[in-house]
Amino acid sequence: MKNIFNTLLGIGVLALLFLTSCGSAPQRGSNAGTVLASATFLADIAQNVAGNRVRVDSLLPIGADPHAYQPAPRDAAAIAQSELLIVNGAEYEHFIESLLENAGGEGKVIEAAAGIGPREEAEGGHGMDPHFWLDPNYVVVYVENIRDGLAQFDPGGAAVYQSNAEAYIAELKELDSWIRGEVAQIPPERRLLITNHESLGYFADRYGFTLVGAIVPGTSSGASPSAGQMAALIEQIKASGAPAIFLDAGDNETLARQIASETGVRVVTDLHIESLTEGAPAATYIDMMKHNVSAIVEALR
């Protein structure tokens, strides 16, 4: 995927279409200056940088899981019509590869996570962990990459993107200290996370949690555990004393309920990791993080 992006970046610079005197509020559905982000939370992060100068739409609808997304023909059309596409990268959006090939490589791509070194997976070898956005400090890097990409795309807006990025980075730093304060309520020995797939690695690294295990092996939602892997996870949970399993609102609860019945752990079913929500509780990236942290603190403290 990286190669495709690099190629597109090269083509994109030549084929670059400029935003024309678009100083007023961005217009939804306008064909001029169409900026697309792959996922809802990325669109929100990018919109904070773009401000009123350009509108950023999400390719995926609210609630869709980018790991498992099956693109529709309209997605290929949307990408073909967009002038700039913002992706997470780090193998998060597998569905985009074929879309980019079909779109003929006319757009330009910003990889938000470019330059961040991925963490080692706890177990498996299923590829790199793309979930950097669960640590707001990495989202600062996303913002810098998006700021630079937007400024290259629309040089006249560079100063606006710079000042919007600064303001949003201040909010992200505030979020980071808020999370530290909340997590401090959890006794260190109870900072244990079990998730559906391995999605909270960067969050765990930053805020001092241990990943006890994941129901679905690896860092994507696509796989299923074997009977042996389920049995091993149940043993890990019993041995660790982890109090809860945390699922994304879009996850199937069946296996978690099965594990809970054998271990007595609580199942928290309403984290929002892969998508924002329409309105509360996760209408923005910052709200999404606050909601997740509150749910984690509530279950573990």
Stretch that binds Zn ion, among 70-78, 135-143, 193-201, 227-235 (CB under 5 A): 193-201
Q: What is the DSSP letter of 244?
A: E
DSSP string across 252-293: --HHHHHHHHHH--EEEEEE-SS---SSTTSSSHHHHHHHHH
Angstrom distance (rounded) from CA 151 to CA 146: 8
H-helix or E-strand containing 214?
Answer: strand 210-214
Residue 161 Cβ vs Zn ion, minimum distance, rounded to whole Å: 28
Amino acid at 224: S
40 binds Zn ion (CB under 5 A): no
Identify which of residues 26 and 218 has a Cβ nearer to Zn ion in the complex.
Answer: 218
Q: Crossing angle of helices 254-263/227-240, nearest 10°? A: 50
Among 47, 199, 263, 292, binds Zn ion (CB under 5 A): 199
Identify which of residues 109 and 134 has a Cβ nearer to Zn ion in the complex.
Answer: 134
Stretch that binds Zn ion, among 74-82, 141-149, 159-167, 196-204 (CB under 5 A): 196-204
Identify which of residues 8 and 112 has a Cβ nearer to Zn ion in the complex.
Answer: 112
Stretch that binds Zn ion, among 6-14, 115-123, 195-203, 237-245 (CB under 5 A): 195-203
Q: Of the candidates 182, 230, 247, 175, which has an alpha carbon nearest to the alpha carbon of residue 208?
A: 182
Identify which of residues 16 and 62 has a Cβ nearer to Zn ion in the complex.
Answer: 62
Identify which of residues 164 and 199 has a Cβ nearer to Zn ion in the complex.
Answer: 199
Residue 199 Cβ vs Zn ion, minimum distance, rounded to whole Å: 4
* R_g over Cα of the chain: 20
Residue 301 Cβ vs Zn ion, minimum distance, rounded to whole Å: 25
Write down the residue that tokens 């980075």 correspond to.
Answer: 169
58 binds Zn ion (CB under 5 A): no
Identify which of residues 88 and 199 has a Cβ nearer to Zn ion in the complex.
Answer: 199
Task: Assess contact for 274 and 38: CB atoms under 8 A.
Answer: no
Residue 156 Cβ vs Zn ion, minimum distance, rounded to whole Å: 37
Residue 29: CB atoms within 10 Å: 7
Total residues at interface with Zn ion (CB under 5 A): 1
- Integer angstrom CA distances of residue 53 from 15, 70, 81, 278: 21, 31, 19, 23
Interface positions with Zn ion (CB under 5 A): 199
